[in-house]
Amino acid sequence: MKLREPIEKMLLRGKSALTDAELIAISAGIPIETAREILIYVNFNLQEIPRLSIGTLKKFKGISESKAVAIVSAFELGRRRSLINESPKRFKIFSSADIYQYMKPDLLDEVVEYFYVILLNRQNYVIKKVMISQGGTAGTVADPKLIFKHALESLANSIVLVHNHPSGNVKPSEQDRRLTNKIIEVGKSLECPVLDHMIFTDCAYFSFADEGLI
């Protein structure tokens, strides 16, 4: 199918009439057949496309570096639009679900691990969030001294720890448990308690507080 056909289809019937393949083809200026191949590659799961690297996309016939960048950019724009107004200027943490929503703009679709600390005031309003470390696909390291340096400088009353598992596995590793316990003990001595440690994935999360581990 020529690219002009879905363009005319949109002009006549509106954007909602287009298939996923047609929308991808138009956004990147690629053949419909190539767009379908991408969808087949991700088992027609649109959530997986933003996780594809530029190099992977370039392996499909007819996709140059600029076209691959166009595809990634289109999905990133959609992701940012979906997150508008989800995090108000003064965000208050009531539950683990609030933490999950608050961290979506930073951790959704990421393919390597990041470790964040959320600094809270006495009323559990967020003072700010700080990225402590960035790792690979299998892990990252968080230094308790650096975590509490930020907490003390911001006069935080308590903190929340968050790191993601790109694999989608929400189960904490033994290393996750040891690190959590270590940071909890430091927090007690500094009178800056750890309220929760969340393991974030794109579809679910694990809360140490919800599971009674804090």
Considering the domain boundaries, does residue 16 fall inside one? Answer: yes
Considering the domain boundaries, does residue 118 fall inside one? Answer: yes
pLDDT of residue 139: 58
Average pLDDT over residues 102-129: 93
Q: Mean pLDDT over all residues of the chain?
A: 89
* pLDDT tens digits along 144-157: 999 999 999 999 99
Cβ pair 116, 129 in contact under 8 A: yes
In the numeric block, which tokens belong to residue 62? 């007819």
Q: Is the pLDDT of residue 180 over 80?
A: yes
Q: Is the pLDDT of residue 138 over 80?
A: no
* pLDDT tens digits along 187-196: 999 999 999 9
* pLDDT tens digits along 122-134: 999 999 999 999 8
Average pLDDT over residues 111-120: 94
pLDDT of residue 15: 79
Q: Is 134 helix (H, G, I), strand (E, B) or coil?
A: strand
Pairing between β-strand 114-120 and β-strand 194-200 as defined by DSSP bridges: unpaired
pLDDT of residue 1: 52
Overall number of domains in the chain: 2
Considering the domain boundaries, does residue 90 fall inside one? Answer: no
Q: How confident is the model at residue 89 (pLDDT cuts 50, 70, 90)?
A: low
Q: How confident is the model at residue 71 (pLDDT cuts 50, 70, 90)?
A: very high
Q: What CATH number does the domain containing 40 carry?
A: 1.10.150.20
Give the Å distances, CA to CA, from 137 to 151, 192, 207. Answer: 27, 30, 21
Place of tokens 């040891």: 178
What domain range includes position 102? 96-207
Residues 105 and 45 in one domain: no
Residues 116 and 28 in one domain: no
Average pLDDT over residues 27-53: 89
Q: How confident is the model at residue 18 (pLDDT cuts 50, 70, 90)?
A: confident
| Amino acid, res. 137 | T
Considering the domain boundaries, does residue 66 fall inside one? Answer: yes
% of the chain beyond a pLDDT of 90:
61
Through-space distance between the first and last CA atoms of the chain, rounded to whole angstroms = 57
